[in-house]
Structure 1
Amino acid sequence: MKKLLGFRGVVIMSIVLQLNSGCMAKREYEYKFQNPELSVEDRAEDLVSQMTLSEKVSQMRYDAPAIDRLGVPAYNWWNECLHGVARAGEATVFPQAIGMGATFNKSLINQIGTVISDEARAKHHRFVNEDKRGIYQGLTFWTPNINIFRDPRWGRGQETYGEDPYLTARMGVNFIKGLQGDDPNHLKVVATAKHFAVHSGPEKSRHEDNYHTSNKDLRETYLPAFEASIKEANVQSVMCAYNRYRDEACCGSNLLLNDILRKEWGFDGYVVSDCWAINDFWEPSKHELVKTPAEASALAVNRGTDLNCGDAFDPNLNEAVLKELIEEEQIDRALSRLMTARFKLGMFDPQETVSWSKIPYSVVGSDKHYQLSEKTARESIVLLKNDNNVLPLKKDISSIAIIGPNANAKQVLLGNYHGTPHNSITPLKAIKEKLPNTKIHYAKGSDIAKGWPLLNKIPSSVLKTGDHPGLKGAYFDNQEWKGNPKMTRIDSVIDFVWMPKKPIDNLTSDDFSIRWTGQLIPKETGRYRIGLRASSAGKLFMNDSLKVEFSDDHEPKMRYFDTVLDKGKAYDIKIEYYNYHTDPQAQLVWAKLDEDLLSPAIEAAKKSEVTILCLGLSPDIEGEEMPVVLDGFDKGDRSKISLPQSQITLMKEIQALGKPVVLVLMNGSALAINWANDHIPAIVESWYPGEFGGKAIADVLFGDYNPGGRLPVTFYKSVEDLPDFKSYDMTNRTYKYFQGDPLFPFGHGLSYTNFSYSNLKIPESVDINKDIKVSVDVTNSGSKNGDEVVQLYFSQKIENNNGPKHSLVGFERINLDPGQKITVAFKITPKQYALIDNEGKEQVIPGPVQIFVGGKQPNLKSENDAKTTQVIARTIKIK
């Protein structure tokens, strides 16, 4: 009997029925790879053997096409879930990764990974059932980013878990385990540890830079988190970095991809290039390692890169084989790794046999998931300073000024690589809801930085089509505005997130386009910034002149132009937008430049008992390789680590009024807030806190939650304290090697209660290469319930060994009621207390060592030494 099956094609499957008590006893498959009873390795090998060279090469690009004759559906390997499923419709948005790092909560991170992969699976199976197999619809996710945040200037540091290799490894391992699941038969999703290796800026030169480190720094700082992700979490994918390391491109590095990753660590998954990184091998003014795309593709695959995010491999690997730059068996090796992953995910098995396919779509944005996002936002908040117990504020206060560019900015909740939230609870919104009887005075106070105003949607009051407010939208069911529109209507504003319903009824694909036309008639003369923010691609015209254009580079973006507009004058507006994936969004935004924002803020503060200043940074100006050039910012990175001057001016003017001020920071990287530290009594760090971030901030400010987060990075006082940004030498970097006095140290965080430590139990001596067991009693000696992050540090008492001052080797986040005592136990392994010598070798040296346990770093010189906790120490001997 023959039966037709398959996706977009026909697979002929021969089924032989042997009746035995009326049951099907045996099924014969046309191809061996179709048999789910065989090992995934055997199935992958068989599938690859059925393909032609061109077909093989086509499957090694991120947007792999279908092979209909074999029943292989199209598959797009590109997906993102850094802090929630991204760019695939509405999803639960958690705090940015740096905020997750600040929780110091391993089990919480595992729960987050589990929730994200639940939503990922639910989305994927819905897409498959709708025959959608495009970008952001698969099960292979390019996260987590476990690079070390070695320098606060790096714009992408927000994507990491901080500056410490041990903290990064623990958070990364738990996140990966949550993502990949615990089913012995099928992976839940594939996680990807990135960017391998020695990669943390600068952004603007990442395509040409060549970094060098000592073997000591390589093994002590840059590799541990990757090693843990492979050996402990069994991560199935690794993404190689853009830069070169020791003269080899990371995506063509024999040292990194072969000697270390596969031979030393036993990695058996696949390696994916960072996006268009292979092009850097040959393009002018980049690495220029080879002359042609064929040579670049052969170099990458020969050295161990299996999948190309980009278009270099196809068709150039065909040419490379013909020119004998690479053997076809190397192609087979790479493709077998890729197909093994797809088999492990159950993509060629009946869905009903894959347990993860049963996750209902109702989990997406469910109350349970929202509660976890809110919990994470709370746990990520760090109380930096609280002189005279200014916080928590009283709820019966009659009036509050909420001032600052981040007080009501939805984008600042999200950070980069974010999903689309259902909720966007800003501090302003949350405080209004918490204090319905309090008079709230709100003012922006300043732009986020000089020359970078916050752009808001252009209101219908200044948009006009004929006699109607708004713009005329013509909606097409294709990407090219072809034929007659399926629908026309007047849209009062251009502020759309089309989820879950598309703008055109019965639209079966994600492809559609819209042309908006009409006029903009401003009510005030002045200089304006006008922008188009979209998830796909578009153009913005004014008076038939093209002002803004961006193409489908796969990431949400915003482009703008500056112009002078006259009051009452009509300006023709045309927007051409097209969509190609599952997260369609479009916004027409603007701001009036050179507007006096300071005066209204001062008036708001004068009318209030207390002022809450919401300052910081924005993912619009710090992040991945941006076109942003402002004072203090450089193409996504930062050239200064202080607050932008516009915000410092605002802060000084408000503080000069002599009324109580609380500073709330929202940012993705450390800030040199020296003036604030000297003059503002209470400072809260909340990072980019996710869709419930404002609620978490309000809960902390008004005492409904006792903050317990800790800094996962050092807050320095000045960029002058830092080495050259391009130097990857760890000398004078991070808490482990920094010789200066930090503004706020790594591991710092205050509480509304106090914690004391006692009964430290450690053996007086330990045999060499044996575990060191440590236990300590922690007591909440204050009057409020609260979380304490118990931190364990280890220090070698050896002079001139150029090692770290001390290293984090354990941590636990615990919750204690007033008067409650808990015993916390740790184990320090020989690998943790071994020294890394200059050759990168681990050595356990007999002699005295020092162990510290407490709620903060030991031996702090900083004036901001957390007074709500303590540290106790013991010297023991390794013999």
Structure 2
Amino acid sequence: MDKSMEDVPLYKDTTKDFEERVEDLVKHLSLEEKVSQLVYNASAISSLGIPEYNWWNECIHGVARAGVATVFPQAIGMAASFNQDLVYKVAVAISDEGRAKYHEFTRQGDRGIYKGLTFWSPNINIFRDPRWGRGQETYGEDPYLTGRMGVAFVKGLQGDHPKYLKTVATPKHYAVHSGPESLRHEFNAKVNKKDMYETYLPAFKETVKEGKAYSIMGAYNRTNDEPCCASPTLLQKILRDDWGFEGFVVSDCGAIEDIYEPHKVASSPEEAAAMAFKNGCDLCCGKIFKNLLKAIQEGLITEEEVDVSVKRLFMARFKLGMFDPEEEVPYTQIPYEVNNCNEHIQLALDTARESMVLLKNEGNLLPLSKTLGTIAVIGPNAQSQKILLGNYSGTPSEYVTVLDGIRRKVSPDTKVLYAEGCELANTSEGYWGAKPTKGFAEAIAAAERADAVIMCMGISPALEGEEGEVAESDGGGDRTKLDLPGLQEELLKTIYSLGKPVVLVILNGSPLSINWAQENIPAILEAWYPGEQGGNAVADVIFGDYNPAGRLPVTFVKSLDDIPPFTDYNMKGRTYRFMEKESLYPFGYGLSYTTFEYSNLRLNSDIIKVGEGINVKVDVENVGFIAGDEVVQLYLKDIEASVDVPIWELRGVKRIHLGPSEKKTIEFNIAPRQMALIDEQGRCLLEPGQFRVYVGGQQPDKRSEVLTGKKVLSCEFEVKGGILEMEY
């Protein structure tokens, strides 16, 4: 053996496997050094060549808070694409930029916060209530769609190398977490087993079992009395025992302190820290783990239990290649120039285009001609840069507002007039008694001179977001009303009364109850928080350079009176799967500039045995005159279930592109697990009986039929045999 190799500690020997190296490294650590590694800002241990490491990084829709990076549409907008392949591409681009930043920063000695490779993303909580300010970070209200998007995002972040992780993805907030923000540090989410396993857990399971997520973040709240970051049910029984999770668990920031203070489940900081550790939380975002040494001294936790978490954390760092030569880790070669490069900017534009949802187009007002004489662009979101970003964002190298995009798109001879019209939310008198309608006059003047008016309304991250991060929310980050805030609707009505063609563009991260607009405004486009290229994407749709095909990933209700109280975590009455009232705009809804016709829906069999899958095929043809995407949706209904089940459930999605007169045969396979129900005890049962399959470009509900003028196709099959209990 080479003499130089004899002097190399085993943990530095790259010929050994990671398990051996981690085991050896931990043996070299003192108890104090071990504890120093269990906080998000882990200390350096210079004697062993271990640099400091900050575990906290964010990338829900682009590398966040670390300088210039590509800013993609906020997650709710990406979900509206109904395109998991696109979301995978976005996550690959994000992880490329994250890797490039990490290596460049560390080469220059910068190992600070938001510079690491462990990303606390994606947010896969179910957007069960439109009031929740952080719903914008999610993939919407449906467990199936959320799971598909979450798995794609995790795989894109973590890469597919057989040895190394590209980055670490961290699905959050585990589990049963979706507001209210103002109560999150003390709230106890009461949920029955049926809702737990039917709605709140599926996406987490899929990102762990299929996506192989190497980290999970616990939530602030309690679930059924157990603090989520110290829950034996969530962290041990379900996550590790049932799902086989092998990675590490990190607390949300300050969540372990909450166990002791607002939740009052522990009697001391030491007990709270020990409780979290003993039940499976490995990494603390907060300060309370400094009490671990005292907890050990008091016998609340053992050093051996600490070792388990230390090993899990170092295993992650070894898998990221942090202790190996750069030439052995393929991801170290990603150049810094990839950040916000032209390819990624184009991907941001493509993603924003695919996220656009056309809600109304009466009389085919859209697309507008690029050669109109004069266009008025009016509204508080027309020229706002912040509206492009949403929360947890990076800094783009260029902001393309809606006004910018329109000016770039129209002909050189078209005059574009702009007026803010009103503030986003203000209704009070301003400085020196200025009236809140002071901007109306300019807006009216612009509209009177225009051939068409584009109104840019909505909300902003200043009105919805995380507790403590939102300046103007009266709900602690959540929304207390779903109407257009401030004087926006009054301005909209005023401009509409002038008799000009009006296009309404709404920019927002959560549903709006735009009932008056739906009744009166001829064209409405949902644009979300569309990212750095948002203005170009909006203009592409408005002027016909892109045919919109996005679908709503969340139900737009007509009124808050139509849904249960915010603090009620029962799913009854919530989301398209259980909602009893008619919606304003349904989940899965969106229009196109062309027409798609469905035909020849067929199954491979009308009768199957319990435990068998079924194949579904349908023909889809573009019978219009322009090319476009169609989002083909498959819903399944258990007609003869022995317990209450969802009205119907999304069980398949394919986004396809068809030219004029082009026809494709689309195929879905419904797995036995997708036919199974969850009973009141939380058991997963596949029962014999009749099932109905619906396939079309929308839900099979009457509201979607009214809005689109189309019906979906349907057929039935029968499952025969005895009841089969399945793995959840």
- TM class by shorter-chain length? over 0.9
Specify the alignment match of 2:343 in structure 1. 368
Provide the C-alpha distance between the structure 2 equivalents of 1:647 and 1:389, rounded to a whole number of angstroms.
25
- How many angstroms does 1:31 deviate by? 2.1
In the alignment, residue 589 of structure 2 is paired with which amino acid? H
Q: Is residue 2:682 matched to residue 1:843? A: no
**Worse overlay, 793-802 or 93-102:** 793-802
Q: Is residue 2:335 matched to residue 1:345? A: no
- How many angstroms does 1:801 deviate by? 2.6
The RMSD of aligned alpha carbons is 1.6
Out of 726, 733, 746, the residue aligned to residue 587 of structure 2 is: 746
In the alignment, residue 406 of structure 1 is paired with which amino acid? N
For the 8 Å contact 1:86–1:136, the answer to whether it is kept is yes
Specify the alignment match of 1:410 in structure 2. 385
Out of 446, 451, 455, the residue aligned to residue 613 of structure 1 is: 455
The within-5 A match list for 1:333-482 is 333-435=308-410, 436-450=412-426
Provide the C-alpha distance between the structure 2 equivalents of 1:29 and 1:775, rounded to a whole number of angstroms.
64
Q: Is residue 2:135 matched to residue 1:293? A: no
Out of 530, 533, 537, the residue aligned to residue 696 of structure 1 is: 537
Provide the C-alpha distance between the structure 2 equivalents of 1:232 and 1:348, rounded to a whole number of angstroms.
27
Q: Is residue 2:520 matched to residue 1:679? A: yes
Instruction: Give the match's secondary structure for 1:634.
Output: coil
Specify the alignment match of 1:212 in structure 2. 190
Q: Is residue 2:169 matched to residue 1:327? A: no
CA offsets per residue over residues 53-97 of structure 1, 9 Å max, x none?
111111000001100111110000000111001111100110000
- How many angstroms does 1:629 deviate by? 7.8
Specify the alignment match of 2:488 in structure 1. 647
Q: Is residue 2:609 matched to residue 1:767? A: yes
Instruction: Give the match's secondary structure for 2:73.
Output: coil
Higher helix residue share: 2
CA offsets per residue over residues 534-575 of structure 1, 9 Å max, x none?
xxxxxxxxxxxxxxxxxxxxxxxxxxxxxx79xxxxxxxxxx
Q: Is residue 2:62 matched to residue 1:81? A: no
Provide the C-alpha distance between the structure 2 equivalents of 1:676 and 1:638, rounded to a whole number of angstroms.
20
- How many angstroms does 1:104 deviate by? 0.4
For the 8 Å contact 2:236–2:280, the answer to whether it is kept is yes
Q: Is residue 2:74 matched to residue 1:232? A: no
- How many angstroms does 1:594 deviate by? 4.5
Provide the C-alpha distance between the structure 2 equivalents of 1:42 and 1:670, rounded to a whole number of angstroms.
51
Out of 224, 227, 233, the residue aligned to residue 246 of structure 1 is: 224
Instruction: Give the match's secondary structure for 1:638.
Output: coil
Q: Is residue 2:130 matched to residue 1:152? A: yes
- How many angstroms does 1:595 deviate by? 6.8
Specify the alignment match of 1:876 in structure 2. 717
Provide the C-alpha distance between the structure 2 equivalents of 1:597 and 1:801, rounded to a whole number of angstroms.
56
Specify the alignment match of 1:804 in structure 2. 646
Provide the C-alpha distance between the structure 1 equivalents of 2:601 and 2:200, rounded to a whole number of angstroms.
32
Instruction: Calculate percent identity across the aligned residue pairs.
Output: 53
- How many angstroms does 1:40 deviate by? 1.4
In the alignment, residue 284 of structure 2 is paired with which amino acid? N
Specify the alignment match of 1:17 in structure 2. 2
Provide the C-alpha distance between the structure 2 equivalents of 1:216 and 1:29, rounded to a whole number of angstroms.
58
Specify the alignment match of 1:711 in structure 2. 552
Q: Is residue 2:246 matched to residue 1:268? A: yes
- How many angstroms does 1:28 deviate by? 2.8
CA offsets per residue over residues 231-290 of structure 1, 9 Å max, x none?
10100000000000111100010000000000000000000000011111122xx10111
Specify the alignment match of 2:620 in structure 1. 778
Provide the C-alpha distance between the structure 2 equivalents of 1:673 and 1:815, rounded to a whole number of angstroms.
30
Specify the alignment match of 2:468 in structure 1. 626
CA offsets per residue over residues 600-642 of structure 1, 9 Å max, x none?
1111111111110000010111000037586x84111011111
Instruction: Give the match's secondary structure for 1:726.
Output: coil
Provide the C-alpha distance between the structure 2 equivalents of 1:39 and 1:761, rounded to a whole number of angstroms.
51
For the 8 Å contact 1:153–1:637, the answer to whether it is kept is yes
For the 8 Å contact 2:417–2:446, the answer to whether it is kept is yes
CA offsets per residue over residues 434-478 of structure 1, 9 Å max, x none?
11321111111111112699xxxxxxxxxxxxxxxxxxxxxxxxx
- How many angstroms does 1:800 deviate by? 6.8
- How many angstroms does 1:862 deviate by? 5.1
- How many angstroms does 1:395 deviate by? 1.2
For the 8 Å contact 1:119–1:363, the answer to whether it is kept is yes
The within-5 A match list for 1:36-115 is 36-115=14-93
CA offsets per residue over residues 164-193 of structure 1, 9 Å max, x none?
000000000001000000111110000001
For the 8 Å contact 1:61–1:311, the answer to whether it is kept is yes
- Aligned pair in 2 of structure 1 residues 719, 800: CA closer, same or farther (>3 Å)? farther
Provide the C-alpha distance between the structure 2 equivalents of 1:358 and 1:170, rounded to a whole number of angstroms.
30
For the 8 Å contact 1:628–1:634, the answer to whether it is kept is no
Provide the C-alpha distance between the structure 1 equivalents of 2:117 and 2:427, rounded to a whole number of angstroms.
40
- Aligned pair in 2 of structure 1 residues 279, 451: CA closer, same or farther (>3 Å)? farther
Larger radius of gyration: 1
Specify the alignment match of 2:726 in structure 1. none
- How many angstroms does 1:593 deviate by? 8.5
Q: TM-score, normalised by structure 2?
A: 0.97
How many residues end up aligned between the 2 structures? 718
- How many angstroms does 1:396 deviate by? 1.2
Instruction: Give the match's secondary structure for 2:718.
Output: strand
Provide the C-alpha distance between the structure 2 equivalents of 1:862 and 1:853, rounded to a whole number of angstroms.
13
Higher strand residue share: 1
For the 8 Å contact 1:742–1:862, the answer to whether it is kept is no
Out of 269, 282, 287, the residue aligned to residue 306 of structure 1 is: 282
Provide the C-alpha distance between the structure 2 equivalents of 1:452 and 1:324, rounded to a whole number of angstroms.
59
Provide the C-alpha distance between the structure 2 equivalents of 1:198 and 1:446, rounded to a whole number of angstroms.
38
The within-5 A match list for 1:104-143 is 104-143=82-121
CA offsets per residue over residues 476-529 of structure 1, 9 Å max, x none?
xxxxxxxxxxxxxxxxxxxxxxxxxxxxxxxxxxxxxxxxxxxxxxxxxx72xx
Q: TM-score, normalised by structure 1?
A: 0.80
**Worse overlay, 323-332 or 434-443:** 434-443
Specify the alignment match of 1:660 in structure 2. 501
- How many angstroms does 1:17 deviate by? 3.3
Specify the alignment match of 1:517 in structure 2. none
Instruction: Give the match's secondary structure for 2:505.
Output: strand
For the 8 Å contact 1:82–1:97, the answer to whether it is kept is yes
Provide the C-alpha distance between the structure 1 equivalents of 2:490 and 2:327, rounded to a whole number of angstroms.
61
For the 8 Å contact 1:101–1:161, the answer to whether it is kept is yes
- How many angstroms does 1:865 deviate by? 2.8
For the 8 Å contact 2:249–2:282, the answer to whether it is kept is yes
For the 8 Å contact 1:29–1:35, the answer to whether it is kept is no
Out of 683, 687, 694, the residue aligned to residue 852 of structure 1 is: 694
Provide the C-alpha distance between the structure 1 equivalents of 2:471 and 2:648, rounded to a whole number of angstroms.
38
For the 8 Å contact 1:794–1:850, the answer to whether it is kept is yes
- Aligned pair in 2 of structure 1 residues 64, 864: CA closer, same or farther (>3 Å)? farther
For the 8 Å contact 1:743–1:864, the answer to whether it is kept is no
Provide the C-alpha distance between the structure 1 equivalents of 2:454 and 2:336, rounded to a whole number of angstroms.
40
- How many angstroms does 1:656 deviate by? 0.9
Provide the C-alpha distance between the structure 2 equivalents of 1:686 and 1:652, rounded to a whole number of angstroms.
21
